[in-house]
Amino acid sequence: MTDDPADSDRLKPPEGGEKPRLRVVGSDGYADWDEVYVDNVVWIYRLLYSKVGNRPDAEDLTTEVFLAAFGPLRITAARLEVRAYLAATARTVLAGYWRRRLGVEVTGIDPELAVRELDDPSSRSAAPARARAVLAMLPERHRRVLELRFLEARSIRETAREMGISVANAKVLQHRALRMAARTQPGGQS
């Protein structure tokens, strides 16, 4: 996982049955992947939660960030470099999430917010308030299908039954509602 050829020789087990040598890690680096995870998981989770506004998606996206970083991230990098890399990976993962959800690429993660997330454990997400504002601007049927599907976590079949429409109609209505919501800006602009 390192770029230095000398490092690859040190990672090979020594010949002749000798015990592997221990590697000294400076105070600015990480000893292993467990330490990388433990030191960064909370702020990554909080950052993603502030962007998506719900726990299950934030947890899934946090996992995705660490899985994506596992291969390319050099464990020998300094802590600040690791955090910068994880923030960039979180931005990429978040962009993929919104592209899959809404068909819109949203890649804005304020680096200052990421730093504040490390220091402020009590920060609350503004996403629920933004979601309510967007939903309030939608026509009744569009708003209702999104409430049932995403706020109440109903299946498409349950949503169709609740609204008295076919499953196919519920799918179309949900798609149109998501597209309309993506174009809607709270504050009256559209």
Q: What is the pLDDT of residues 142-162, one digit of tens each?
A: 999 988 887 777 888 999 999
Average pLDDT over residues 7-11: 47
Q: What is the pLDDT of residue 110?
A: 56
pLDDT exceeds cutoff 90 at 130: no
Which residue from 16, 77, 66, 70 is spatially nearest to 40, judged by alpha carbons? 66
Residue 91 has pLDDT above 60, yes or no: yes
Rounded to 5 degrees, φ, ψ at 185 are: -115, 125
Is 140's pLDDT higher than 90?
Answer: yes
Q: Is the pTM of this model over 0.85?
A: no
Confidence check: pLDDT of 36 > 80: yes
Mean of the per-residue pLDDT values of the chain? 77
The four Cα atoms 33, 38, 44, 49 give a dihedral, to 10 degrees, of 130
Place of tokens 């770029």: 3
For the cut 50, the answer to whether the pLDDT of residue 139 exceeds it is yes
Region 113-140: what's the mean pLDDT? 70
pLDDT surpassing 70 at residue 31:
yes
* Predicted local confidence at residue 111, as pLDDT: 53
d(CA 25, CA 77): 10
Residue 189: per-residue pLDDT: 47
Indicate whether 115 pLDDT > 80.
no
Is residue 106 packed enough to be buried (19+ CB in 10 Å), middle (13-18) or exposed (0-12)? middle
